[in-house]
Amino acid sequence: MAQELVLLTRLFDLLNWLLPKTEHFPRIYRYTVTQRMMDAALDCQEAVFTAQSSRSTRRKTALEDADAALNRLRLYLRLAHHWHWLNDGQYTHVSTLVAEIGKLLGGWIKQSSR
């Protein structure tokens, strides 16, 4: 249970940092790449909430959905860095957050597969 709470806290921290940053991304991409990035981050958070309140097969599905959303987020963050929407320091910071979230999520997936 403590691991779940840490995961939710880290996801909140990620959203709290990321969503304001996307306001500074180019307006031309606001409804494409930027929107997909925000959707992936929010989808991950929502899937973790679903997993927290579910059991068995539904929990496993929700955790897999969260993992898929996190992978999509990684792609969009990498693109944002490549296109210089995020500087090196910002990308390092957000990558560290995402890596920690991935480890926590992976641990929960492994634990629920037993």
Could you tell me the CA-to-CA distances from 110 to 63, 98, 102 in Å, in that order? Answer: 10, 18, 12
**Tokens at residue 113, please?**
């597969």
Residues in the chain: 114
pLDDT in tens, the chain (114 residues): 566 689 999 999 999 999 999 999 999 998 899 999 999 999 999 999 999 998 889 999 999 999 999 999 999 999 999 999 999 999 999 999 999 999 999 999 998 877
Could you tell me the CA-to-CA distances from 1 to 21, 29, 58, 77, 91 in Å, in that order? Answer: 31, 39, 17, 29, 30
Q: Write down the residue that tokens 């959905």 correspond to.
A: 65
CB of 35 closer than 8 Å to CB of 67: no
The structure's pTM equals 0.92
Could you tell me the CA-to-CA distances from 73 to 8, 55, 100, 106, 112 in Å, in that order? Answer: 16, 26, 14, 16, 23
Overall number of domains in the chain = 1
Domain that holds residue 47: 2-112
- Percent of the chain exceeding pLDDT 90 equals 86
Q: What is the pLDDT of residues 21-38, one digit of tens each?
A: 999 999 999 889 999 999
Q: Which CATH number is 43's domain given?
A: 1.20.1440.60
